[in-house]
Amino acid sequence: MAKRTVTLSPLILKKLRTIGEQIKLARLRRKLSVQLVSERAGISRATLWAIENGEPSVSFGAYVSVLCALGLKDDITLLAKDDVLGKTFQDLELLPKKRAPKTKGKNSERRK
């Protein structure tokens, strides 16, 4: 079976390298070895090295496992948190509500 490949733009590859660098720095600040973090994350050392190098072939689940092993699991929820563009599109689709027409009834006669 042929292996599927995804072509990523240079910008995306740069972002992945930045994420990998940030993960590596977090590990080093905690003075944790590659061996320990990979064991805690349930991945191989080679996979952790690939993550720290920003390799796009590593699964998102592996990235999340490493973040959890580093005690950064809450950082995952920050992805796409402030979706300014999406919120702008949503706001553009919101139409101002129209008021219901006034009805003539007992209440309207009393006000006269």
Q: What is the pTM of this model?
A: 0.71
Residue pair 19/11 in contact (Cβ under 8 Å)? The answer is no
Please write the tens of the pLDDT for every residue from 5-58. Answer: 778 899 999 999 999 999 999 999 999 999 999 999 999 999 999 999 999 999
Residue pair 19/66 in contact (Cβ under 8 Å)? The answer is no
| Amino acid identity, position 84 | V
What are 112's two structure tokens? 């006269």
